[in-house]
Amino acid sequence: MPRPLPVVESDVTPVLPALTPEPLRLLTRQADLQYHAIPARGIFNAPSATHMGFWSINPYVGCAFGCTYCYARDTHRYTLERAGRIGTDIAASMPPWLAFERRILVKEHAEARVREALRSSRSPRAGESLVIGSATDPYQPAERRFRVTAGVLRALADADVRGWSIVIITKSPLVTRDIPVLQRLARHNTMGVHISLITVDRELARQLEPRAPTPEARLRGVRRLAEAGLDVSVNCMPVLPGITDEPAMLQALVARIAESGARSFGACALRLRAASRRRYLPMIRAQFPALVTRYESTYRESVYATETYRAGLHQYMGALARKNGLVLREYRRASGYDVTGASDAIRGERVEEDMQDVGVEENSDEQLLLL
- Binding residues for ligand SF4, rule: CB under 6 A, are 63, 65-67, 70, 72, 136-137, 171, 212
108-129 burial, b for 16+ CB within 10 Å, e for fewer?
A: bbbbebbbebbeeeebbeeebb
What is the spatial distance between Cα 49 and Cα 46, in angstroms, rounded to a whole number?
Answer: 5
For the bound state, the minimum distance from the C-beta of residue 174 to ligand SF4, rounded and expressed in Å, comes to 12
What is the spatial distance between Cα 345 and Cα 168, in angstroms, rounded to a whole number?
Answer: 19
Question: Which CB sits closer to ligand SF4, 115 or 146?
Answer: 146
Q: What is the DSSP letter of 213?
A: P
For the bound state, the minimum distance from the C-beta of residue 149 to ligand SF4, rounded and expressed in Å, comes to 13
Q: How far apart are the first and last CA of the chain?
A: 38
What is the spatial distance between Cα 10 and Cα 232, in angstroms, rounded to a whole number?
Answer: 31
For the bound state, the minimum distance from the C-beta of residue 134 to ligand SF4, rounded and expressed in Å, comes to 9
For the bound state, the minimum distance from the C-beta of residue 212 to ligand SF4, rounded and expressed in Å, comes to 6
Write out the DSSP string of 112-152. Answer: HHHHHHHTSSSS--TT-EEEE-SSS-TTSTHHHHH-HHHHH
Question: Which CB sits closer to ligand SF4, 72 or 185?
Answer: 72
Question: Which CB sits closer to ligand SF4, 143 or 178?
Answer: 143
Q: What are phi and psi of 268, to 5 degrees?
A: -155, 155
15 CB-near residues (< 8 Å, 6+ apart): 45, 49, 50, 75, 135, 345, 346
What is the spatial distance between Cα 308 and Cα 257, in angstroms, rounded to a whole number?
Answer: 26
For the bound state, the minimum distance from the C-beta of residue 67 to ligand SF4, rounded and expressed in Å, comes to 3
For the bound state, the minimum distance from the C-beta of residue 119 to ligand SF4, rounded and expressed in Å, comes to 30
Residue 190 three-state SS: strand
Question: Which CB sits closer to ligand SF4, 65 or 265?
Answer: 65
Question: Which CB sits closer to ligand SF4, 65 or 164?
Answer: 65
Question: Which CB sits closer to ligand SF4, 67 or 326?
Answer: 67
Question: Which CB sits closer to ligand SF4, 67 or 193?
Answer: 67
For the bound state, the minimum distance from the C-beta of residue 214 to ligand SF4, rounded and expressed in Å, comes to 14
Task: Check the CA dihedral 253-258-261-267 and report its sign.
Answer: positive
